[in-house]
Amino acid sequence: MVKLTGEDLRIEDVVSVARNNSKVEIDEKAIQRVRDYRKIVEKLIEKGKLIYGVNTGVGELANVALTRDQVKEFQKYLIYSHAAGGGERASEEDVRAVMLARINTLLKGFSGVRPVIIETMAKMLNRRVTPLVFSASVGASGDLAPLAQIALVMMGKGEAFFKGKLMSGKEAMRKAKIKPVEFEAKEGLAVINGPTLTTGIGALEVYDAKKFVKTSEIAAAMSLEALNAVMTAFDERIQKVRGYKGAIDCAENIRRITEGSEILSQKKERVQDAYSLRSTPQVIGAARDALEFSEKMIEIELNAAADNPLFFLDNGGECLTGANFQGTPLAFALELLDIAITTVCALSERRLNRILDPKLNNGLPPFLSKKGGLFSGMMVAQYTAASLVCENRILCTPAAIGSIPVSGNQEDFVSMCTVTALKTKRILKNAYTILAVEFLAAAQGLDFREPLKPGRGTKTAYDVIRSYVEPLEEDRPLYKDIERVAKLVEKGRILEEVEKEIGELK
């Protein structure tokens, strides 16, 4: 059970609700706060004050005043007109993350909705009514089109999955025994006016990226052992005198993973290795530090009043218009995440190259095959990794600088944060495969180091991989092996088993 207050939602809570179908509970103090703010909306309307999106049109039509009779009807037509989505379908877990984030925003009270709006969304989560949502959005005024598809289902319209089966929104709400809502003044706008698709997807991506970075350290440790690396570069003194926390933690993790290694305890004739090996703490460490920033930004947004206009209790009740729907902070957070993941992948591919190249791999057979010439070993698996690294580099081209004006130039600067979130998803998917190829090569390299034993953590990772993929004694199609290990990376299985053996990594 996740209790929602509007103040303390965390990324782990989003994962629990979105992926594990944990139920949500609404804090009663927060609901009372929502009631108090709703009174301000009603009071200002009664006074005849013009309020954007309440008794006026929206966007370029903001200067068109609505009559009292039109105010309620406008919210319905607002949702209809804004449900103009396209692009790829958002997954059910993504939409659940979005709904959770939007509930938390509305619980802050500043959006001025009635409690029934929040309670209806919470029932939809708890009873597994998940609207069909298309992902295309410019990220300001928030993720309007995708969120409008959620609002449609709240009204008993649109389409939704009920317990995984797609049907009409009306039928899904009926089966779940949830009464559709009729949006009153401000409420339709409040549901859609924030970058919440980006927030929900971004929360899941940050969670996955954290696991990926730790898993990349396990892959690095295996490669270091396969290459019989010089480990002085991982001495904590080197990292501490520079001072970056990410590098300090990365070096410590790799020392712990390789602890007890007979391979690495061998005497070395060389004094240092290539950058792709000895720069590992500095590079993965920088990704760790970037990820910390991304996580902070996403968690701020999870608990933010991301809407316009906003209502305040000051001076007997005020309405202020601004731009808290603007997704640029999220765009920057996820663009940085893209760069971090892609850089970690580039380093992985370079370690992979060294394991395969007989001129660089410190005594391993060419391309990890006992019969080079007849067999090509893992030669072409590197091509796959190289291709995906290149694709990720292209995907790192920032969407956040790609504003295209909309709404007759009233909305003349938009964040494109949702485009960033969608490409982050693709980057992560590619990253799992890149790391999988390194894991396969490193495991094969360790086979050639026998009878010397690897470290405790490295041995655990090796055993997980070998429980799914046999050693490459002779050439065979590798695509299934790569796919299996990529799934292990994505699901965090290798990380989970290594942490069981040596304790939680930093």
Catalytic residues: 52
Residues 302 and 9: their CA atoms lie apart, in Å, by 6
> Which residues, listed in sequence order, are joined to residue 406 by a DSSP beta bridge?
411
The closest alpha carbon to 185, from 314, 70, 316, 107, belongs to 70
Q: Tell how strand 165-168 and strand 318-320 pair up.
A: unpaired
What SS3 state is found at 315? helix
List the end-to-end C-alpha distance of the chain, in Å, as a whole number. Answer: 27
Residues 96 and 102: their CA atoms lie apart, in Å, by 10
Residues 300 and 7: their CA atoms lie apart, in Å, by 9
H-type alpha helices, 303-455? 328-356, 379-395, 417-449
Neighbour-count burial of 359, counting CB atoms closer than 10 A to its CB (0-12 exposed, 13-18 middle, 19+ buried)? exposed
Phi/psi at 316 (5° precision): 80, 5
Q: Tell how strand 159-162 and strand 165-168 pair up.
A: antiparallel
Residues 343 and 157: their CA atoms lie apart, in Å, by 44
Residues 106 and 109: their CA atoms lie apart, in Å, by 6
* Residues 426/194, Cβ–Cβ less than 8 Å: no
Q: Which two tokens stand for residue 444?
A: 């094969």
User: Per DSSP, which regions of 74-222 are E strands?
Assistant: 129-131, 159-162, 165-168
At 42, which helix (H) or strand (E)?
helix 28-46
The size of the chain, in residues, is 506
Residue type, 275: Y
> From the CB of residue 390, how many other CB atoms can be counted at a distance below 10 Å?
14
